[in-house]
Amino acid sequence: MYKIIKDRKIRAAVLGCGRISNNHFKSFDVHKDNIELVAVCDDNPDRLDAAVKAQGAKGYLSLDEMLAKESLDFIAICTPSGMHSDQTVKIALSGVNVVSEKPMATRWQDGVRMVKVCDDAQVRLFIVKQNRCNTTIQLLKRAIDEKRFGRINMVSINVFWTRPQEYYDSAKWRGTWELDGGAFMNQASHYVDLVDWLIGPVASIQAMTGTLGRIIEVEDTGVVNIRWRNGALGSMCVTMLTHPQNLEGSITILGDTGSVKIGGVAVNEIEHWSFADRQDYDDEVESASYQTTSVYGFGHPHYYHNVISVMRGEEEPDTDGREGLKSLEVLIAAYLSARDGRTISLPLEY
């Protein structure tokens, strides 16, 4: 049985105090009546010191020491992607729940291992998919669930962003296969999540990738053709070479009785919304769009609402480890296809 916390605040820690950790810190502040930030951990002393001063939490240079000295309910993993799996295993075996940033792992078997270890240890594994909480995406999800598109025929996803060489040079792990992954795995991971969550299970994938403008191991540009099991066809185009700044993060869905495009720099603007029928919430379309200065969006506090409810025993997880595996499977299939020049059918294993 999973541990349920009813009569006190949920004790949290953050592992990795880089740029994404701020979204977690801000979320804890929003939910301060339910979450208490107990500790932070980072192997970079300067980064750790800054986090300790800003958050007022205890600081640790090693995960092992933090696990040994603190009584924690969950740890939010904000480290490089390739470190998530080993850290999840260590945390789970200590009886602590895990909240992992995307992607959950850079290898398929590592993701599978994370799920199995957490299952065996009877701890929760949450995979952060905060873009699902965006008001624009929530409206689109509702329209799909209500079958307003009829049969979905075509889906187009574009991520036209920029990451200069200085971004990759800022840390040795960036742009590596082992710890980072490329434009699909890292920057476009949340858009890959929409492939299965919105449209449904994928039947097959064809991909091409290239390292065209950056000195890195992984791809900075790529295209993927997708066939879904429901018959829909689509594509995903991703590049980190857009001049001079991030241009577009969008999804367009075309069906027999509906067509929608959600665009902006990070699916934050409903640019087209047309259906054969009309529903009351269509009036919310204009107000659902929002301005954003960050491609991360504002979904982390909403995501943590579910984490809290699950740990209180009130809800089931919106995105657990198995849900995280769905987007990881699409990512790995795309990389296999690009590497081998062939169509990859899903699932990867039975």
> For residue 314, what are the CA distances in angstroms to 29, 50, 75, 305, 309?
21, 35, 20, 11, 5
- Sort residue 264 into left (φ over 0), alpha (ψ -120 to 50) or beta: left
pLDDT at 55: 98
Q: Tell me how many degrees the CA angle 341-82-156 measures, rounded to the nearest 5.
A: 45
What DSSP assignment string belongs to 246-314?
A: --EEEEEEEESSEEEEEETTTT-EEEEEEESS--GGGGGHHHH----S-TTTT-HHHHHHHHHHHHTTS
pTM of the predicted model, to two decimals? 0.95
Longest CA span, the chain: 60
Which of 67, 59, 66, 76 has its CA nearest to residue 10? Answer: 76
Judge contact between 270 and 250, C-beta under 8 A.
Answer: no
pLDDT at 1: 85
What DSSP assignment string belongs to 63-124?
A: HHHHHHH---SEEEE-S-GGGHHHHHHHHHHTT-EEEEPSSS-SSHHHHHHHHHHHHHHT--
pLDDT at 297: 60
Which amino acid appears at position 241 of this protein?
L
Cα separation, 132 vs 124, in Å, equals: 19
DSSP state of 131: G
Cα separation, 104 vs 328, in Å, equals: 7
Going residue by residue through the chain, which has 350 residues, state the pLDDT in tens, using 9 for 90 and above.
Answer: 899 999 999 999 999 999 999 999 999 999 999 999 999 999 999 999 999 999 999 999 999 999 999 999 999 999 999 999 999 999 999 999 999 999 999 999 999 999 999 999 999 999 999 999 999 999 999 999 999 999 999 999 999 999 999 999 999 999 999 999 999 999 999 999 999 999 999 999 999 999 999 999 999 999 999 999 999 999 999 999 999 999 999 999 999 999 999 999 999 999 999 999 999 999 999 899 987 766 656 789 999 999 999 999 999 999 999 999 999 999 999 999 999 999 999 999 97
Collapsing DSSP states into helix, strand and coil, what is residue 235? strand
Cα separation, 99 vs 78, in Å, equals: 9
User: What is the CB neighbour count within 10 angstroms for residue 68?
Assistant: 10
Which of 117, 78, 119 has its CA nearest to residue 100? Answer: 78
Residue given tokens 């792990």 in the structure block: 173
pLDDT at 296: 59
Which of 138, 233, 248, 148 has its CA nearest to residue 195? Answer: 233
